Structure formats: structure tokens, C-alpha cells
Structure 1
Amino acid sequence: MRLSWHCQGRNQPHIDGTMTDKFRKLNDYQHARLRVEMYLGSREFFTIKSISYEDGIHVREYQLVPACFVAFREILDNAVDEVAIHGHGKQIKVDYYPETGVFSVEDDGRGIPIHEIPELGSGPAASILLSTPRAGRNFEDRGNAIGVNGLGAAIANFVSEWFKVEIRRDGQVFQQEWHEGTYRGKEVHRASSPKITKGRSKKTGTKIELKLSSKVFQDTTVDPAFIRDRMIDLAIAYPDKKFIFNGETLSGKLLSYGNVTKESSIEWGRGHGYVVLITSDHEGVFHHAIVNGIPMLNGGPHVSNLVNTSSNFISEALNRKARTSLGLKKSGNYVNKADLGGLIVYSQFFISDAQFDGQMKGRISTNISRNASMAVTDDLVKDFLKKNQEWVSIVIERVKDRVGKKDLEKAKKELEKKDLFIPSLTDATGKNRQDCILFIAEGLSAISGMLEVRDPAVHGGIGLFGKILNVHGLPPKKVLENKTVQDILLSLGLMIGEKADRSKLRYGKVFILSDQDEDGNNIFALLVNLFYRFWPELFQDKENPFIYKFITPLFILEKGNQRKYIYNDEKFDPADYKGWTISRAKGLGRLTKKDWEYVLREPKLIPLVDDGNLKEVLDLVFDPRRADDRKDWLINAEIISEEV
């Protein structure tokens, strides 16, 4: 908004007619409640992604109001500083139940000082530290402490409906409460008088409970799972301390949550830490960076650098494998970051006097990019790839698909430049192409008899030249470069990489012809494999199938003017046909004009539709890696055949 100041009368608009010169002076309490975003972040409801440790390490979505989580974490951070950073105490216990909206944080440290500290002012130090902004201990050399500005606890207190503390220290128990209130129409912060009693045990520590104010927050949602998982971050960061959430003791052993690489550690002047690599089922490359126990939810330069360095190392390691899989001799960078979906780059760093981007601490502003990225090493990547062979296979398939699509587009453009003239095709002439049927056979001699007696308006035929490819696992570009495949695609109007729309194809049905022998069966199966791999939708319509196996007679019987046809699924005993001339029509070339007239007039067809098993059957037959499975399958088939 552009400011345009004018000299105007009292209480008149000054800024584009939207504001007046009414001034107010807010105290710290009022300002914190009015400008929550300055101190704690957004009060809007968000869905964010982060790491979950439930049932293995993976990426999941959480729903929360960021400012509510940060308010809670300010209290938790103080406990972490006391127990984990300064080394006073052994455990931190957190309870949170969204139905009550009450947070509880308890540690067994020394307890916040309850005696008077002159530098803070008169009265118990705890009363001042928990209700006065800019009062704290982390203003000098902070070491690895999380607390930064001396604002956190007081701000969390200010935005609460009520805030309670119980401190055990020096043989005494200190208790005090604060409540929101109003006085003469203004918000006020009401504090009870501190209560100090003699302790009955040697137990020390601080327990703080708070309930966030509905007057400050319209929504106080914080997913309990998010709190639990962020406490596991802390348990992993400080494994010698005990972290308890809602009664559950959280494991600090990263390996207990999933299959991760060995840690790759780095240490330098002001910091140290480690990186591990993990796989999950999410899209893209995900980072989970923790600095001094705090998740960097807003990323940062060192996070980007870690992700890029890890991605580059892995891509380089997989390039050779991808090149071999693609059948390419030329070296090049085939694997890129987009192919590495499911990768988690997980890091824990501990930085002395770390500076964060604000009270929310979602991003570190201290430059640690160069040092942190040195934790990514060849050994780390080798260990990761060795442990995650299934993920490696998925990545290679992505590369093949991506590179294949790129090459396919080039091949498609070349094919589209070609004329429709196909020497091996005798086209149907009918205008209603849905009524037309394309007969496919191997070679012109196999189909010439059919073409002699066909109905030109309905029947088209193509005699294929050259070897029919086993397309299983082949790059689409290589398939499309095959002349036989090109002829089929141009004849039908199909294109690899595009879904088949039967209403736009040049033929309404396909009849596959083959000789009545093993070679013929192989050709038929290879054609089915081609169609199913690239256009499985052609096998879905059970009411109106697209592809058929066209069956021709196996035996032809003649006696005078009589002619009979026996198919391979019929019982046949030559002894029953004494006086008949019997010929075996093993090849399509053996069929005469009369035979073709009969089979076209009385077609015997097997429609090909997917019963749910077709993909598995074709994979079993054509995948070169499944030789043992095929052997077992053939043996079982032979046993069943013998039993029948």
C-alpha cells in the first residue's frame, strides 16, 4: 500500500482514507496478544509435511497452528537447555491432550531460580523470568543453547488463558499462576502471589502447565503426533537423556525407527553433526534437518546444499547403471534429482552460538552450508545404495521412463512425417472404419489367400515382414524404431505413449492369423504382448472385444464334392473317415480359395480380454529374468496335460 500523507483535521483519515491519527501505547502483555505473529508465527491453520517415526521413518502431513506449537516449544526449549545443553537432569516429560488443550512440560533439572537476583529486579527470579520479556540467561556466549532472546516463556505466558509453574529447588517448592483478565475494558495479566513451601523430598526441577487463550487463538490445533515426532528428534539428538511423551518413553536410537545408512559425521571449529540417508514412499527428495534439536521446518541454505550434494552423489553413482539399462554407449548424466523421489536426507547438527531467523527458529541464519555438506561422502552413498536395491530399481525405471518418453517424442515426430503408404498393407475401403477388420499375419504369402476372397469394404490385411520384437522391458524408442511395429501402428492409427481411443482408430477390430504350429503360436503371443504393453485398454471391453485370435482348420477332409473342416480343439480320428482325403493345413499358405471363403463365412474366433491375469502371464512368458519361473510353469503344465 502506498502511503500518502496529508494535513487533515483531528481524527481524519491519513493513509489512503483508511487510518486515523489515534495513537495507543500497549504494554508488553497487550502487544504480545495483539501481534502474536511477531513472536510466535502464524495463527492460521496449516497442513505441513515433516518426518514421522511411526511404523518406520517416512514423510507425512500434520495439521497445526504454527504459533500454538511455537508457544509450547518455547517452554520445551527451556527444559532442553537445562537438561540436555547445561547437563542438569536426566529427563523431560511432556503431556498434551488436544481435548483439554493443556500442555505440560516437566524436567528434573535444578529448577528455575526462585531466589532474588539483583540483575533481574526485586522478587523471586522465577516470577520475573516467566512474565517479563527480554529476561533470561542466553545473551552472552550461548554455546549450543536453544533459547535466544529471552522472550519465549514470557510470550507463551502472555498468550495463555492460564499459566502455572511449580519449581522444586534448594529444598523448597515454588508455585505461581497467571491468568488473563480485563480491567476497565482493557486486557490485563493477573498474577497470583508466589507460594513457597518446604519440600518433602530432594527432587528438583520445573513443571509448567499452560492453556492457550481462545481470545488470542481462534484455533489451537496441534497434532499430538507432531509433538511426539519432534520430541523423538530431541531424543535422537540427545540419546543420553530420557524423553517421555504422554507416558511413552521415546527411543533415541535412530536405527530403531527404520533402515538407515550408517552415520557420516563431520566436525569443525564451531560445530559437529552427521547425515544419514533414508528411503520412503513420498514424492520428491525430502530433507529433515535438525540443528541443536530444533527441526528446520523452513529449510535454509545448508538444507538446500545437503539435498543437492546428496542428490548429485547418488545421481553420479547410478548413471552407469542407468546407461547400461537404457542400452546406451554414450556417457552422460541420465539420472537427475527428479528421479530420486522417496529419498530422505536426514541431518543432525550441533552449532555453537547458532543464530536463527527469528523467534520461530524455523531456519538457521548461521552459515554452515559448506561444512555440513562435507558430511555427504562416497562411503555414505555406497552404503545407502547397497541397502536400498529395491529403491535403486525404482529410480532406474523412472529414468528409463523419462528418457524413453523424450526419445519417444523424437521417434513419434519422425514416424508422423511418413506417408500412410505401407507396402505390406491391403487397406479396407469402407468409410465406417468401426466396421472394418484388420487381419494381421506373418508375411504376404500367409495372408494372400484371404485377400483374394475378402470383402474390400470390410476386410484389410497386413503381412508383416521382419522379426516381431519381444517388447518386454524395451525402451519405447527402440520399439518404435522397428519397421514391423511402425507398419502395425500406421495401419491401425495407434501411437506408443498415447492411450488408444477405439472410436478414432482406422479399424474396429483386429484378427490375428498364425500358422498351426509352435512358431505360429509364438508370433501370436508376441503380438499380444506388443498390444498389451502399450495399450492394455484394448483388452478391457468384454462386451465388444478389439483383438481376436482367428482360428483356421487344422485338417481339411474331401470326398467328392463334400468338404469338412476339423479344428485343433475337436476330437479327430482318421479311422472314422475312411474314403476321405485328409490333408493337414499346418500353414496358412496351404489354405485354398474355397477354404478361405469358408473361414470368412464361418469365422472361428477367440476374443482376447483381460481376466485380471494377463499381465502376470505375459510377464512370466516374456521377462528374461524369470527363466526359472517359466521352467516350473512348463513342467506343471506338462504334468497336468499328462493327467488329462
Structure 2
Amino acid sequence: MSKSIEAVKRKGKAKEATIESKDQRWHCRNRITLVFGSNDVEELETYTYEDGKLNFKTVDFHQAKSKAIEEILDNCIDEYYRGHVTEIHCELSEDGKSVMVEDNGIGFPIEKVPQVYSEFRTGSKFKDEETDEKGFLHRTLGQNGLGAAATCLTSDEFKVRVRHYNSKKEQTYTFIDGALKVKKTKPKPFKGHSGVRVELKLSKEVYKNDVVDEELLRKRIIDLAYNNPGLTFYFNKEKYHYKKGLLELAQRVDPDTAQEFGASAYIYEAKNTKGKKVKGKIDLSVALNLSKKSEEREKFISFVNSTPTFDGGFHHDRVRRLFVNSIKDKLARNAKKEKLTLVDNDILTGITFTIGVTMPNPRFESQTKRKLVRDTHLEKGIEELMNKNIDKFLRKNKEYLEVVMERAKSRNRFQELKDASKKARKQKKQRVEKLLDANERKKRELCTLFICEGDSAIGGLRSARDKLYQGGIALKGKPMNVAQAAISDILNNQEFSDIMASIGLIIGVEADVSKLRYSKVVFLADSDVDGGHINTLLTNFFYQFWPELFDQEAICIAKAPLFEVITDKGTKYIETPDELETFRETTKLKIKEIQRNKGLGEMSPEAWKHVLSRESFTIISASDVSRAKEMLNVCFGKDTSLRKELLMDEDSSSSTSVSVSSTTTSSAKKKASKAPAKKAKAATKKKAKVTKKKATTTGKKKAKKKTTTSSKKKK
């Protein structure tokens, strides 16, 4: 048996709770948040219409006040869905306190006006299974019979004129102070259009501020016009009428990036409570703006039965997920090949979705209708729309797929750089055994590091350098092509690891010359094709990770003399064969000996002194950053066809500007010059064959002619 409840010992007489019964007017005015949502000003991320464009921004939004006006507009839209309305007019007074809404529908029986506007749970849309003349379930916004009545009960003045089409009579009711007082005119015949006209002034006591925001009310009117193509709206005499619906709204976001993804009507069958089959129709449309260059997160503009779903809901989530999954499936093979993982942001960045849903009996989380809940028929309709149109979209937007892959690569590279910077910081502290360091300790900004080709070069540099300010480090052969290497591979490369540690560079961290161990980095390679290639590979390495060093004029090239010409008055150092030829033709000096240096290792100590004692070296600069990156990509990227075009095109090899790319193309130029020579040689051979063949044929003809002549003579 359960234990009996213990009796509480109380002193004296207990004060009992007062039981009250409040009418719906009191409840509505004092608990307005239950009906219309927040009664405080909040910040809302949305958009407004300005100068023919959409301006996405944060606005001060009063949910309850906005919803009170929208409920009257929604009634007009419901009549439009039933085929009774072609025009809706709205006006806002100059002081923003008085709003008028009028349609040209059929109205309703005038004796029902007090019930409709002053009593909850009164309306004409409670029958969720009611169908139109085509047998489809009605689509509607009003479902609870609360909205218009709640607006009336929270208004200081609410004036309604109903012109009933069927009875041909009109009557005007004026509800004062939340319907505490009611005035009415006598029913009378009317001339002109039928319909309902509402004029209202919201209660300052209820809403704290009774001024209606003109910008947001205009936004609501224009939204309704876009959602209902063919329906004409007027706001303060301004006309809004659209024909293409939400596609036009997307074009207003940005006409250059707008496109229709797809539109469809999904029809389904269901059974009502009596077991009778009924048909439902869901109209869906999805338009989008695809901005490939934008770095902003995705945006959604969405409506359900013309009402904006600020908080999204099921239709947002389903369209988003199906779109993302389709793109991931399409790029799965490429992503696997590139060893990349695609994330949602790679796909959705820069996209604005504009979604419209018109359906029977939509279900929202609350009376504010800001968020749609799941519906099985809507889910099937969205899946059908997305599956039907995704292939067409992908065929039209092949460049977009490339952008998605580039975003994934960039994100992956950013993460690698982040990881690399941690590892590089540890490497920076390690001693570099191969470094021939400068001895200066305090004024490191005066120090220069020479990156030499081969250990033999370091020997010459060791004896000729200024030990205080000049350091050196040797390469073993050609360095790695970083354009086609992973960050981890670069960090594990001993030569690049030593170079970074020597200078004080960290991958992923911007370089500041004033904080580095060397303020100048000079490439010193052999004066041949291989030496030029080494210089370009080093340029590629530094430009990929620290392009700012080129702006700071920290990267240079030292040209080693190819010839040492010993004359009767000293030694001349000459860099090219052409310069040597010119010198021989013009000099008056007596040339005793010409020494040709095949590499840095063959240079004399005097030649080393000559190179290292120069006041300045050839600075590598990039006047056009995009052009420099493009050229480096041509020379070192994965697309070999770009290099092939460069090598085969004499113009591109001869017109390359002197900048970062000037050294990049040095080896390419040499190869390029060989290509036309090969072509010419092949053409000469071909011509020779043709000539030979012609000559042989002519010989045969002559021989044949000779034979014929001699036979004639015999006869």
C-alpha cells in the first residue's frame, strides 16, 4: 500500500487564490504574445526593397504589431486563392497610425460582421477537407478564426465596410476600444465593386508604440505581389504587379546571377475523416542566385501560402539537404581523386534560395507562422522537384562545380597551412647543420642568405663571403615543385625545411622582413638551363607561401659569370656568349686567356669575390599579381596542356614580361625555341623526301622515253 499523504499544519486561516474568468478581449489585449508573438522590438535579419534592389540587413521588427496588420491582408489573399479577388489596396497615413486594407472580393453576409471581427473561433476556413470546383483541397492562410478578431480587439478603432456580392448590400461597423463600443450603419444597396474594406488604428496601450513601420509594410505588400503573380497590389497609390512570380524576386536580388531551378505542381490523393478520397495540390517553385565569387553564407527567402517563414522550417531543410547531397554525389569521384572531403559550406557559399510553397492546410509551429513543420505530401513534392531539375541545373552550371572543388581545396589547404605553422614553429628552433650562418647577431636586417646549387658552390662562397653579413646554404640538385606537392610533403622535405629554419619563415604565417634572420635571399645557381630551372622552382616556392617578400624586394638572383677573360690589365667577368663576342670585337686590351665556367664549382676565388661584393642583385618583383600566379600555374601546375601551349607558342615565350614570371619562363624559352626548330627540321626532311620522290619519278620518265626512242631507231 502507498503511504498516505501527510497533513500540513498551518497557523491561522490560509489565504485562498482568487478565481477569475476573463473574456477574450482582456485575454487578447493582456496576453497578445500568445496570439501574435513577441510584443517587443527585436532585431530581424531580413531584407527591404530599395531602388529596385534587395537590401539584406538587420531591421527593428515588432512581431505582434506586424502580424496584426498581416492578418487583415491574409484574409484578402485567402479570397484570392478562392478565385474572388483581383486587386488589393493598402494605405498608410502620414503619421503611420492608420492603416486601410481593401479588396474586390465577394465579401460575406453582413449580419456576420460582429462575430467575424470580435469573436474568436469564427470564420469560413475550418473545414480542412473542403474542395474547390476542380476537386482540390482549398489552400488558405487563415485556419483558426483568430487573426482578424485579435486585430480588432487590440485596436483603438477598427472600421469595417462589407459589400456582399450575393445580397447586393453593404454595411459598416465601427469597433471602438477593442470592441467595447460598436457602431453600425443601416444596410443599404451599393454601387461599384464588392469586397471588404478595413480601416484600423492599433492600440498604444497594447502595443506600446502604435506607429506602423512604412518600410516593412511596403515590403510585405511587395512580397505578396511576387508570391501571387497576376494579382495587382497598390500601396499608397503605388502599383505592384508581377507575372513571373518568385523568379522575378530572385532577379531583383541580382539579375546577373538569378536563375530558375524549377517549378512544379505536386498532386496527391488522401482520405478525409469520412473515408472519402480527396485531391490535394502543392505548387512549388525554387529560384536561386548563384554568386561564384561571394564568400557569404547561404541565404533563404521563403514563403508558405504567401506568408514569409522567417524561421525556416521543413521546406528550408529539405531543399537544402537534397541540393547539397546531389552536388556531393556528382563530385564524389573527383573529391576522392583529389583526396578531399566536401562540406556543406563548400557547396552553399554564395547561394540565395528563393522558395515558394502553396499548399492545403499548412501546419506552423505557432499562430505567428514563422516556421513550417513537416508534412509527408510536401516532402514528396520537394523530392520530386529537386530530382527532376538537378541534372539540368548541373549541365547549365559546370563552372559552379569547379568553384566548389576549388573551395574544398582552399579549405583543405588552409587547414594544412594551420597544421604546418605548428610544425614549422618547432622546426624553426632546430639547428640547421648545413647552414653557413652570418656572424652578425644584433643587426640581422643587414644579413643576406645565398641559396647555392651544390656543395661545391658553398666552398667558393665560404672563402669569398663577408662572414659578418653573408650566409649560405646548399641545395642538392633541383628542389621540389611545391605547386603539385602536399603541405606535409613540403614540411618533410629536408632542403625546404632547412631554408625556412635558416631564414625564420613559417608556412601559413605572413613574413615580415624586419623580423626575419635574413632580410635578403639571393638565388645563386649555374648559368645554364638547369640553373634557370632551379631559380624558377625556388621562386615558385617563395611566391606560393610568402608573396609579400616580393613586394618587400627581399628575393633576388645573383648572376654568376660564365666567362673569365684574363687580359693584360686584369680579369673581365662576362655572363653570356653574346657579351663575350662583343667584348672581343670591341676591346683594345690583349686577351691572354678565356676561361669558361661550366658551373659555380669551377669559378675562381676572384670570380666569387666579384659576385659577392656587388652592391645589389637582380630583384624579382611581381607588378601584376594575378598574371604572376597565372604564369606560375602554367609552368608548375598539374595541367600539362598549358605548358605545351606555352612551349609551342613563340609569341607567348617572347612577350613574357619581366617580373616574377620573367625567371619562371627562362627555361621554357629555351625549350620553346627548340620547338620551332624541330618543326622546321621536320618540314625540311619532308620537303627533301618529296623532292627526291619527284626526282626519281622524272628519272623514270626519262629512262622510259630513252628506251622508246632507241626501239624506234632499231625499227
TM bucket, shorter chain: 0.7 to 0.9
Name the residue aligned to 1:107.
103
Name the residue aligned to 1:337.
344
1:383 is aligned to 2:373 = no
Name the residue aligned to 1:531.
542
Distance 2:352 2:571 in 1: 73
Name the residue aligned to 2:603.
591
Name the residue aligned to 1:253.
245
Q: Report matched runs for 1:64-75 at 5 Å.
A: 64-75=61-72
CA contact (8 A) 1:110 1:204 kept: yes
Distance 1:415 1:453 in 2: 32
Candidates 9, 15, 33, aligned match of 2:29: 33
1:406-464 deviation per Cα after TM superposition (whole angstroms, max 9, x unaligned) = 45566667777779455653333443344432112333334442222223343221222
Distance 1:205 1:375 in 2: 38
Assess, with a 3 A threshold, how the Cα gap between structure 1 residues 265 and 414 changes in structure 2: closer, same or farther. Answer: farther
Assess, with a 3 A threshold, how the Cα gap between structure 1 residues 589 and 275 changes in structure 2: closer, same or farther. Answer: farther
Distance 2:19 2:610 in 1: 102
- Which has the higher relative contact order, 1 or 2, with Cα contacts under 8 A spaced 6 or more apart? 1
Distance 1:260 1:197 in 2: 50
1:486-506 deviation per Cα after TM superposition (whole angstroms, max 9, x unaligned) = 333233232322333545544
Distance 1:239 1:271 in 2: 18
Candidates 27, 44, 55, aligned match of 1:48: 44
Name the residue aligned to 2:362.
354
CA contact (8 A) 1:163 1:177 kept: yes
Candidates 437, 456, 466, aligned match of 1:445: 456
Q: Report matched runs for 1:472-483 at 5 Å.
A: 472=483, 475-483=486-494
Name the residue aligned to 1:78.
75
CA contact (8 A) 2:229 2:241 kept: no
Name the residue aligned to 1:150.
145
The range that moved more, 522-531 or 230-239, is 230-239
Distance 2:405 2:206 in 1: 52
Instruction: For 1:137, give the aligned amino acid.
Output: S
Name the residue aligned to 1:122.
none
Find the residue that maps to 2:357 and give its secondary structure: strand
1:546 is aligned to 2:554 = yes
Find the residue that maps to 1:396 and give its secondary structure: helix
- CA drift of 1:82 comes to 0.8
Find the residue that maps to 1:497 and give its secondary structure: coil
Distance 1:470 1:228 in 2: 59
Name the residue aligned to 2:466.
455
Name the residue aligned to 1:137.
124
Distance 1:422 1:213 in 2: 80
1:486 is aligned to 2:464 = no
- CA drift of 1:195 comes to 6.1
Distance 1:232 1:421 in 2: 69
Instruction: For 1:579, give the aligned amino acid.
Output: L
Distance 1:161 1:231 in 2: 24
Find the residue that maps to 1:356 and give its secondary structure: coil
Instruction: For 2:153, give the aligned amino acid.
Output: F
Distance 2:625 2:221 in 1: 49
1:364 is aligned to 2:356 = no
Give the structure with the higher percent helix.
2
Find the residue that maps to 2:260 and give its secondary structure: coil
Find the residue that maps to 1:431 and give its secondary structure: coil
Assess, with a 3 A threshold, how the Cα gap between structure 1 residues 302 and 387 changes in structure 2: closer, same or farther. Answer: same
Q: Report matched runs for 1:48-447 at 5 Å.
A: 48-50=44-46, 60-63=56-59, 64-84=61-81, 86-95=82-91, 100=96, 102-114=98-110, 116=111, 125-141=112-128, 143-170=138-165, 171-180=168-177, 189-194=180-185, 196-201=187-192, 203-218=193-208, 234-235=224-225, 237-244=227-234, 246-256=238-248, 257=251, 258-263=258-263, 266-269=266-269, 270=280, 272-274=282-284, 276=286, 278=288, 279-280=290-291, 281=294, 283-324=296-337, 326=338, 328=339, 334-340=341-347, 341-365=349-373, 367-368=375-376, 370-375=379-384, 377-407=386-416, 420=430, 424-432=434-442, 433-447=444-458
- CA drift of 1:78 comes to 0.4
Find the residue that maps to 2:259 and give its secondary structure: coil
Distance 1:212 1:9 in 2: 49
Distance 2:211 2:520 in 1: 59
Distance 1:500 1:306 in 2: 44
TM-score (norm. length: structure 2): 0.72
What's the % identity of the aligned pairs? 30
Name the residue aligned to 1:507.
518
Instruction: For 2:616, give the aligned amino acid.
Output: K
- CA drift of 1:475 comes to 4.8
1:182-217 deviation per Cα after TM superposition (whole angstroms, max 9, x unaligned) = xxxxx885544336554332x122233434444444
- CA drift of 1:511 comes to 1.8
Distance 1:469 1:225 in 2: 61
Q: Report matched runs for 1:14-29 at 5 Å.
A: 27-29=23-25
Instruction: For 1:249, give the aligned amino acid.
Output: H
Assess, with a 3 A threshold, how the Cα gap between structure 1 residues 538 and 579 changes in structure 2: closer, same or farther. Answer: closer
1:553-594 deviation per Cα after TM superposition (whole angstroms, max 9, x unaligned) = 566554345344567899964433222436666854453211
1:35-65 deviation per Cα after TM superposition (whole angstroms, max 9, x unaligned) = 3222111233334345779899989335122
Find the residue that maps to 1:527 and give its secondary structure: helix
Assess, with a 3 A threshold, how the Cα gap between structure 1 residues 410 and 282 changes in structure 2: closer, same or farther. Answer: closer
Assess, with a 3 A threshold, how the Cα gap between structure 1 residues 188 and 223 changes in structure 2: closer, same or farther. Answer: closer
Assess, with a 3 A threshold, how the Cα gap between structure 1 residues 633 and 44 changes in structure 2: closer, same or farther. Answer: farther
Distance 1:502 1:289 in 2: 52
Instruction: For 2:343, give the aligned amino acid.
Output: N
Assess, with a 3 A threshold, how the Cα gap between structure 1 residues 98 and 354 changes in structure 2: closer, same or farther. Answer: farther
- CA drift of 1:108 comes to 1.6
Q: Which structure 2 segments of 5+ residues have no match?
A: 1-7, 131-137, 252-257, 270-279, 663-715
- CA drift of 1:151 comes to 1.6
- CA drift of 1:147 comes to 0.5
Distance 1:366 1:540 in 2: 57
The range that moved more, 405-414 or 574-583, is 405-414
CA contact (8 A) 1:426 1:462 kept: yes
Find the residue that maps to 1:149 and give its secondary structure: coil
Distance 2:544 2:23 in 1: 71
- CA drift of 1:361 comes to 1.0
Instruction: For 2:346, give the aligned amino acid.
Output: D
TM-score (norm. length: structure 1): 0.79
- CA drift of 1:110 comes to 0.6
Distance 1:415 1:43 in 2: 56
Q: CA RMSD in A?
A: 4.2
- CA drift of 1:146 comes to 0.8
Find the residue that maps to 2:323 and give its secondary structure: helix
Find the residue that maps to 2:56 and give its secondary structure: strand
Name the residue aligned to 1:602.
614
Candidates 631, 653, 674, aligned match of 1:620: 631
